[in-house]
Amino acid sequence: MTGATGKATGEKARFVTSKILTAMLNFLRPGFARLFNPVVQALARTPVTPNMITVAGTVGVSASALALFPIGELFPGAAVATVFVFTDMLDGMLARRKGDSGRWGAFLDSTMDRVGDAGVFGGITIWFIRNPADHLLAVLSLFCLVCGFLVSYVKARAQSLGLKCDVGLIERPERLLIGLTSIGLSGLGVPYVLPIGLWALAAGSLFTLCQRMRAVYLDATTTATTTAETTAETTVETGAETTARTTARTTADTAADSEKG
């Protein structure tokens, strides 16, 4: 009973944490939208496309993380990467303003997100590897990177198969918020914040992966059961119709034979 209660409490705490992070992002988003609006209006009158903004933002995030994190410049690297992360909002606003959103843009944006994630976690992993005392954190950082990739892959693959995968405790915005915030605060000298942030991110990402795989499994099982039941009903109905037609034909032939006789 105590174990079940503890598990329920832990899940509730993770859910509340996710809601707090999402609320923070939703609170900041309108302010940044107003901040970027003049920039978007200016860019809308130029040949600059949303896809150019997407690629430039990814290059900025990856370059700042890979150039600054490995040499121990954690706060400047996190600050610069955070600025470029918000180009995600900028390219979306520009796409809506120009009416230039489409499937290729969505594909490119998703792909560039993975590149940016690799830059952030790859850069901090190199920093950990260069410090012998932090090799465990290097493994943990790689685990966060791989889990993040798998979380995104599971959803994309499920959607390509027509299955639902709408759940997720820690998605990309939360991953970057936790990762860059803990890296930046660590660069300012806040003790233990980076290990705590990475352990929390690793646990949340693993939970999200299991959560999404379970959701896809349940939807796939339900879909398969429904399809089987529909097929069985169709087969029964078809068989009944065939039997009825055969019976009617036999009755008609018998009546015709009787008339001839």
Active-site residue set: 113
Alpha-carbon distance 42 to 45, whole Å? 6
Alpha-carbon distance 49 to 230, whole Å? 48
Cα-to-chain-centroid distance, residue 4:
29
212 in Cβ contact with 148 (< 8 Å): no
232 three-state secondary structure: helix
Q: Count CB neighbours of 126 within 10 A.
A: 16
229 in Cβ contact with 237 (< 8 Å): no
Alpha-carbon distance 247 to 239, whole Å? 12
Q: Count CB neighbours of 66 within 10 A.
A: 18
Alpha-carbon distance 77 to 167, whole Å? 31
